[in-house]
């Protein structure tokens, strides 16, 4: 006998608990249309996976089945859904512009002498000081994840950053890296990581962690 799919397992749990979709919606605070989509395994009609996991958690608790098993089966059967749907916005690179600046420095140094070359070096230092800040989150690497722990460590690397804030708290930066620990609340945790550049510009990254 083939093992039950997630939709079949949800339907069986709802039926055995004696719930209609409307009654289950009232008990879980999840809209009826979302509940129907879950049971039919129409996940493309549902919000992002981290929210869908929360719906499944409520369904399992109300119907008296194992929460971890339901959520794990959802993740196992729908791995394609968990490709990051909201990557950090790419920061424009100044590589090409810097190449032309360096080339110009050489030309000026050859034809205009030491005075012009010193002026170019000054201009370069000003440009570098006002460069755009960048951030890369190393841990957790995925945009959305599940955790059973009470705490989570947010780690990453930054460039041209004056300060880093994690969940509204200023993080300690050593060189170009930072690490900050946050406590997790039950359910969905949305963690904002913001850097303040040396030029005053701010860049934000988001991580969503579902604590079970």
Which DSSP string do the residues of 75-132 spell out, in sequence order? HHHTGGGGS-SSPPPPPPP-HHHHHHHHHHHHHHHHHH-HHHHHHHHHHHHHHHHTPP
Pick from 178, 173, 208, 168: nearest CA to 190: 208
- Token digits of residue 2: 């083939």
Q: In this predicted model, what pLDDT tens digit does every residue of 90-124 receive, in sequence order?
A: 444 444 454 444 554 544 455 665 554 434 434 44
Does the pLDDT value for residue 168 go beyond 60?
A: yes
Identity of the highest mean pLDDT range in 38-52, 143-157, 172-186: 38-52
Q: How far apart are CA 120 and CA 171, in angstroms?
A: 36
> Stretch 171-194: mean pLDDT, rounded?
86
Q: How far apart are CA 167 and CA 208, in angstroms?
A: 12
**Span of 64-68, 77-81, 159-163, 208-212 with lowest mean pLDDT:** 77-81
pLDDT of residue 95: 43
In sequence order, which residues have a C-beta less than 8 Å from that of residue 77 and are 6 or more positions away? 5, 6
Does the pLDDT value for residue 137 go beyond 60?
A: yes
Supply φ then ψ for residue 194, to 5 degrees. Answer: -120, 135
Q: In this predicted model, what pLDDT tens digit does every residue of 46-61 receive, in sequence order?
A: 999 999 999 999 999 9
pLDDT of residue 118: 36
The DSSP secondary-structure symbol of 20 reads -
In sequence order, which residues have a C-beta less than 8 Å from that of residue 113 and are 6 or more positions away? none
Q: In this predicted model, what pLDDT tens digit does every residue of 4-34 receive, in sequence order?
A: 899 999 999 999 999 999 999 999 999 999 9
- Determine contact, residues 151/181, Cβ cutoff 8 Å: yes
């Amino acid at each position: 006998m083939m093992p039950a799919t997630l939709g079949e397992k949800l339907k069986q749990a709802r039926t055995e608990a004696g719930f209609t979709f409307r009654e289950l919606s009232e008990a879980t605070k999840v809209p009826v249309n979302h509940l129907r989509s879950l049971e039919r395994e129409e996940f493309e009609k549902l919000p992002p996976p981290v929210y869908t996991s929360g719906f499944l958690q409520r369904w399992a608790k109300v119907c008296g089945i194992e929460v971890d098993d339901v959520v794990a089966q959802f993740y196992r059967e729908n791995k394609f859904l968990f490709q990051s749907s909201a990557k950090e916005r790419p920061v424009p690179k100044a590589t090409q512009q810097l190449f032309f600046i360096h080339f110009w420095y050489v030309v000026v140094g050859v034809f205009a002498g030491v005075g012009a070359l010193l002026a170019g070096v000054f201009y370069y230092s000003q440009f570098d000081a006002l460069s755009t800040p960048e951030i890369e989150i190393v841990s957790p690497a995925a945009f959305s994840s599940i955790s059973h722990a009470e705490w989570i460590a947010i780690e990453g690397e930054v460039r041209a950053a004056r300060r880093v804030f994690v969940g509204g708290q200023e993080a300690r930066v050593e060189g170009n890296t930072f690490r900050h620990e946050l406590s997790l609340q039950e359910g969905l945790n949305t963690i904002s990581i913001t850097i303040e550049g040396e030029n005053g510009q701010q860049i934000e990254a988001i991580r969503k962690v579902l604590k079970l």
